[in-house]
Amino acid sequence: MTEHPFAITLDAGTSLANRTGSWRTSKPVYADHLPPCNARCPAGENIQGWLYHAESGDYRAAWEVLMRDNPLPAIMGRACYHTCEDACNRGRLDQAVGIHAVERFLGDLAIREGWRVEPGPPTGKRVLVIGAGPSGLSAAYHLARMGHTVTIADAGPKPGGMMRFGIPRYRLPREVLDAEVERILAMGVELRLNTAIDDIPRAMAEGGYDACFAAIGAHLARRVDIPAVAAGRILDAVSVLRGMETGAEPPKLGRRVVVYGGGNTAIDVARTARRLGAEEALIVYRRTREMMPAHDFEVEEALEEGVLVRWLSTIRRMDEGSLVVERMELDDTGWPRPTGEVETIEGDTLILALGQDVDTTVIERVPGVEVNKDRTIRVGPDLQTGHPGLFCGGDMVPSERTVTVAVGHGKKAARHIDAYLRGAPQESAPKHAVAGYDRLNTWYYTDAPRTVQPVLDALRRQTTFDEVKGGLDETTALFEARRCLSCGNCFECDNCFGVCPDNAVVKLGPGNRFRIDYDFCKGCGLCAAECPCGAIDMVEEEI
């Protein structure tokens, strides 16, 4: 208190005595909403969460957040079809964040740096995992983190499942695959190769396992009857691709290879045929390009590599060195129907890429297990079969067949197995509402400067399947990570702290976000309106 005249002159800052919070009818509350990318990630990654660390250049922290959900980032950054990017809010602003590219960058960096994950404190429980595909590997990883002792048994000579025997090398270098598998094994997971399990209950009993996760994939190629003079020239895609990995020599294909089917496998096998020296690789598909299940960018790349495609065609017959195809047309409902018009095309090898079924022989005998009509295994929401302690995931259960789904199943199964082993129900955190585009105040997001933009665009377009092109380097990765809008989650932009006319937002310092001082907050709602990422809700006050 300074000496000064009464009433006319006042001491600085004395209005703190006036608690304007009592004026409020609604109040701002910080909330973490679910970013659309996270919501759409089949592996349940906290994408925004790890991009947050990547943005600041703390790649180790980013990688660690990423590894909480997905043990295979270098693989996924390459092979995942990144549905997250379709959902990315930034796509509505300019272009989606190249999430996969940053993920791959982090995965590669971790391999280069030899970053490891420690297993959890031992629980004394033993779990058998059947199949070293992505699903089995993921389950093993998560179970090991929880401290369980894990053994993986795989029938094949090498781990990876379809990641090795399906996805071609040029899209997924085997060093990458090996490195990420090795990191899981380094956690103490035991891998037994060339070990086909044919009696699960017995294997469990003999090995003293407390639970089992089976992820044997879907390896039986579907076939159609095509009359042929030389049936030997009709192959299936899975075998061809597998032959690339197992045989001493690559499979022998003809000069003119015809692939029948429209999925990613068809594309892979056609591109592989080109790489094996086929002069011509032609994909025959009975529907239109729009209807093709293969991803657009893969079709695009195949076309760039000289793969030919005949849409709206079916194969009638295979002759010596040629095939007869029938043209299809779309009916009024847009469905293809035969026209009766046939044509002969050249071709000496026909590869069928019509999808795969699960080989259920090993599991259907297990008491309590049910097989669906489509040959998949019936499981509950906890991925448990009717046989207590036996869980299944990946391609063998009904769902989309992707590496990412398989990895997600592995994590989910691990949690439920853990709960099963502890005898406690698995409690999942409540799901937050998705932070849609309309929650954002996009004004605050700026674009990359003109000098940087084209480089990023090119990198973003890049599939990263082509290893010749390479991924992001550190600088570009940082740029890309920083494009994230942090949908629904505070990224400490200080807007709320700045825009409050009543200084009622308290800044808690780096990493600690903010707090509302309800003694002074009048509830004007400016903080919520001006939060770029929609991390503040206005909640009615009870009066």
Partner 1 sequence: MTQTVKFYQTGTLTVGNRLLDSDKRTVQASRNRSNALTCGHRACQGCGEALGARYAIDAAMRAANRDLVCVNATGCLEVFTTPYPETSWQVAWLHSLFGNAAAVASGVAAAMRVKGKATRVIAQGGDGGTTDIGFGCLSGMFERNDDVLYICYDNEAYMNTGVQRSSATPPAARTATTPAVGAAPGNVFGTGKNLPRIAMAHGIPYVATATVADLHDLEAKVTRAMGLHGARYIHILVPCPLGWGAASHDTIRLSRLAVESGLFPLFEAEHGEVTATTPIRRRVPVAEYLKPQKRFAHLFRPDAPGAQEALDRLQAMADANIRRFNLLSAEEAVR
Partner 2 sequence: MLKQIEGSRAMAEAIALCRPEVICAYPITPQTHIVEGLGELVRDGHLTGCEFINVESEFAALSVAIGASAAGARSYTATASQGLLFMMEAVYNASGLGLPIVMTLGNRAIGAPINIWNDHSDAMSVRDAGWIMLFAETNQEAVDLHIQAFRLAEELSCPVMVNVDGFILTHAVERVDVPDQARVDAYLPPFDPVQVLDPAEPLSMGAMVGPDAFMEVRYLAHHKQMRALERIPELAAEFRAVFGRESGGLVRPYRIDGADTVVVAMGSVMGTVKDTVDALRDAGHAVGALNLCAFRPFPLDDVREALLGARRVVVLEKALAVGMGGILASHVRMALRGFGNRVYTLIAGLGGRPITGDSLADFLRKVEREPHYDVHFLDLKSDVVEAEIARMERTRRAGPIAENVLRRVGAGRAS
Ligand X SMILES: Cc1cc2nc3c(=O)[nH]c(=O)nc-3n(C[C@H](O)[C@H](O)[C@H](O)COP(=O)(O)OP(=O)(O)OC[C@H]3O[C@@H](n4cnc5c(N)ncnc54)[C@H](O)[C@@H]3O)c2cc1C
Q: Which parts of this chain interact with partner 2 (CB under 8 A)?
A: 2-12
Task: Please give the single-letter amino acid code of residue 458.
Answer: A
Token look-up 């800052």 returns 13
Site string for partner 1, 25-64 (x = CB under 8 A): ------------------------------xx--------
Contacts of 47 (CB under 8 A, 6+ apart): 35, 37, 38, 41, 84, 99
Residue 99 interacts with, from ligand SF4, ligand X, partner 1, none (CB under 5-8 Å by kind): ligand SF4
Q: Does residue 115 touch partner 1 according to CB under 8 A?
A: no
Among 41, 84, 155, 278, binds ligand X (CB under 6 A): 155
Q: Look at residues 225, 226, 222, 136 and name the one whose alpha carbon lies nearest to residue 185.
A: 136
Q: How far is the CB of 474 from ligand X (least distance, A)?
A: 26
**DSSP class per residue in 345-378:** EE-SEEEE---EE---HHHHTSTT--B-TTSPBP
Q: Which of 34, 43, 47, 76 binds ligand SF4 (CB under 6 A)?
A: 47
**Residue from 443, 441, 445, 446 nearest 536 by CA:** 441
Q: Strand 280-284 to strand 256-260: parallel, antiparallel, or no bridges (unpaired)? A: parallel
CB of 372 to ligand SF4, least distance (A): 34
How far apart (Å, rounded) are the C-alpha atoms in residues 477 and 456?
9
Answer whether 161's CB lies under 8 Å from 402's CB: no
| Total residues interacting with ligand X, rule: CB under 6 A | 37
Query: Measured from the CB of residue 527, what is the shortest distance to ligand SF4 in angstroms?
Result: 17
Angstrom distance (rounded) from CA 519 to CA 522: 9
What does the H/E/C string look like for 27-49? EEEECCCECHHHHHCCCCCCHHH
Of 45 and 236, nearer to ligand SF4 (C-beta) is 45
For the bound state, the minimum distance from the C-beta of residue 104 to ligand X, rounded and expressed in Å, comes to 13
Q: How many angstroms separate the Cα of 213 from the Cα of each of 165, 204, 295?
A: 21, 11, 30
Q: Which of residues 475-494 bind partner 1 (CB under 8 A)?
A: 475-476, 478-479, 482-486, 491-494
Q: Are 338 and 315 in contact (CB under 8 A)?
A: no
Least Cβ distance, residue 11 to partner 2 (angstroms): 7
Strand partners, 48: none
Out of ligand SF4, ligand X, partner 2, none, what residue 89 binds, judged by CB under 5 to 8 A for its kind, is: ligand SF4
Residue numbers of the site for partner 1 (CB under 8 A)?
A: 7-8, 10-20, 23, 55-56, 443-452, 455, 473, 475-476, 478-479, 482-486, 491-495, 497-499, 501-504, 507, 509-511, 517, 519-520, 522-526, 528-530, 532, 538
Residue numbers of the site for ligand X (CB under 6 A)?
A: 79-81, 130-136, 153-156, 161-163, 166-167, 196-197, 215-217, 238, 241, 264-265, 268, 362, 394-395, 401-404, 406
Residue numbers of the site for ligand SF4 (CB under 6 A)?
A: 35-37, 47-48, 51, 88-90, 97, 99, 484-487
